[in-house]
Amino acid sequence: MEGQLAHIGAGLAAIGSGAAAIGVGNVAGNYLAGALRNPSAAASQTATLFIGIAFAEALGIFSFLVALLLMFAV
C-alpha cells in the first residue's frame, strides 16, 4: 500500500516537469520576441538565454528527481 502511494506521489511530482516546460517555453519565447524586435542585440544575450533556461529547467529536474526518489528510494 505504502509503495503504491509512493508511486502516486511520483506521478504527482512529475507534474513539476510540465511546469518547468512552461517556464522554459516562456524564457525562450520572450527571448525570441525580443530578438525579433532588436536582432542586433540578440547575439549578446544568448548566454543570458541559456542561463535562464538552465535555471528554469533545474526546477523541473528537481521534480523529476523527487519522482525518482519516490519510485526507487522510498
Partner 1 sequence: MATDITKVSSHNAEAAASAPGMPQLDFSNWGNQIFWLLITLVVIYLVLSRIALPRIAAVLAERQGTITNDIAAAEELKAKAVEAEDAYNKALAEARAEAQRIVAEAKAEIQADLDAATEKADAEISAKAAESEKAISEIRAGALESIKDVANDTAVALVAALGTQAKEADVTKAVATRMKG
Partner 2 sequence: MAVDKSGLVFKPMDQFVVKPLFGGDHVGLFTVTNVTFWMALAVVAVVAMMVLGTRRRAIVPSRGQSVAELAYGFIYKMVEDVAGKDAVKFFPYVMTLFMFIVMANFLGLLPMSFTTTSQFAVTVVLALMVFVTVTVVGFVKNGTAFLGLFWVTSAPLALRPVLAIIELISYFVRPVSHSIRLAGNLMAGHAVVKVFAGFAAIAAVSPISVVAITAMLGLETLVAFIQAYVFTILTCVYLKDALHPSH
Binding site for partner 1 (CB under 8 A): 68-69, 72-74
Among 5, 41, 65, 74, binds partner 2 (CB under 8 A): 65
Residue 43 Cα to chain centre, angstroms: 23
Quick one: three-class SS letters along 27-57? HHHHHHHHHHHCHHHHHHHHHHHHHHHHHHH
Q: With CB cut-offs between 5 and 8 Å by kind, which of partner 2, partner 1, none does residue 41 bind?
A: none
C-alpha cell at 20: 518547468
Binding site for partner 2 (CB under 8 A): 47, 50-51, 53-55, 57-58, 61-62, 64-65, 68, 72
